[in-house]
Copies of this chain bind each other. A is one copy, B any other.
Amino acid sequence: MKNFFFWIPTKVYFGNGEIKRVGDLSKTLGKKAFVLASKDTMKEFGQLEALTDSLKKSGVDFVISDDVEQNPKDYDINRQTEMCIRDGCDFCIGLGGGSAMDSAKAVAFLAAQGGGNILDYLAGGVNPTLANTKPALPIVCVTTTAGTGSELTPWWVVTNTKNREKPGTGNDSTQASVAIIDPELMISLPPTVTQNTGIDVLFHAMESYISKVATPFTEVLSIESMKIVVDTLPKVIKNGSDLELRAKMAWANVLAGIAIGEGRSNTVAVHALGHSIGGQTNVPHGLAMASLGPTYLEMTWDADIDKYAMVSSILLNGQKPISTDKKNLAENSSKYLKEFLKKVGVEVRMRDLGVTEDMIEPMTESVYRTMVDALDCSLKNFTREDVLEMYKRAM
């Protein structure tokens, strides 16, 4: 066994109705909360009200910015941070999917620096490693989707609107102090969001498992997460109002979030290349992953026969494989992934997402500027030529 490290500094509260405890759970973190909520669904379905009711009951003051958009933009983070500072908020709450939670982390970080431009702290900026920065304000994440795992990772991703990149960063201080995962909040998600975010969970689980820095701790979580997604996602897309199915997907998301985030196993080339698709086209993250995943497995299956065979066995979920021979299982992992994605209604190539040939070169540049850490976690060494080839094959 190799040497490894982990911890889960975030206090994780999982279960129906847990949102009602957000006030009690966060009142030790500060006196006034800056609440960042997603634009579309939060008001309509009453989640924001449930959250503010709880804050009021616990005597926690708050200011709301309920205008978080998908793929948060640099200028929005700067603006929200100004608001947070001006209103004297001393901690941040993100309510929504990955975009709201990432915004909460970015604002908590930038506010602790006294404001400024978030681009200074992202790839291409003056301090992308966050060296010698002050610890972020305390962060509470309340997730309303089963995807991204942002509540259990230190990372936040902000879109650089100048060059259309989606660089990510983070440090120990941008891990949430409290994460609330309340499956009841996910009941209202439309099937397409359930599908996209669920696919993201599958990729987090799968990539962290076949990552060069996977550990015995993250492997057991990644395997459990993959098993749950493969069994549950096809059902929950059809039956989104089933609370038990929602809870299972929410739990799979937590497991995968820990694996990639606080467990430190990261993702691999699929996420590294996928982020650049999101930067160029603003398509949902899960679809970008789906367009690349089968090609990645095809290019790397012989890097670890045992692990890729395990991935196939899980994807098959009891179905009969072509052969039970391990090498054959590993070799067909790409095929089995495609079949699973088809089962959840996703047959997508990069060109279907609006990617054109001329974007491949800038996307490749962007991978190296923004996601080289994840790229380097792939079990096979990825050269620039390999990145280009993967993009071309996946078009």
Contact = CB atoms under 8 A, between A and B. Distances in A.
A1 B183 CA distance: 10
A129 B200 CA distance: 44
A4 B15 contact: yes
Given A224-B220, A251-B216, A18 B3 contact: yes
A17 B1 contact: no
Contacts of A3: 13-18
A11 interface: yes
B9 A13 contact: no
Contacts of A183: 1
A1 B248 contact: yes
Please state the number of chain copies in the assembly: 2
A247 B12 CA distance: 29
Nearest to A21: B3
Contacts of A14: 1, 3-5, 216
A314 interface: no
Contacts of A7: 8-12
Interface in A208-236: 216-217, 220-221, 224
Contacts of A6: 8, 12
A230 to B, nearest CB: 16
Nearest to A9: B9
Interface of A: 1-18, 183, 216-217, 220-221, 224, 244, 247-248, 251, 255
20 contacts: A1-B14, A1-B183, A1-B244, A3-B13, A3-B16, A3-B18, A4-B14, A5-B11, A5-B13, A5-B14, A6-B8, A7-B8, A7-B10, A8-B8, A8-B9, A12-B217, A220-B220, A220-B221, A220-B224, A220-B255
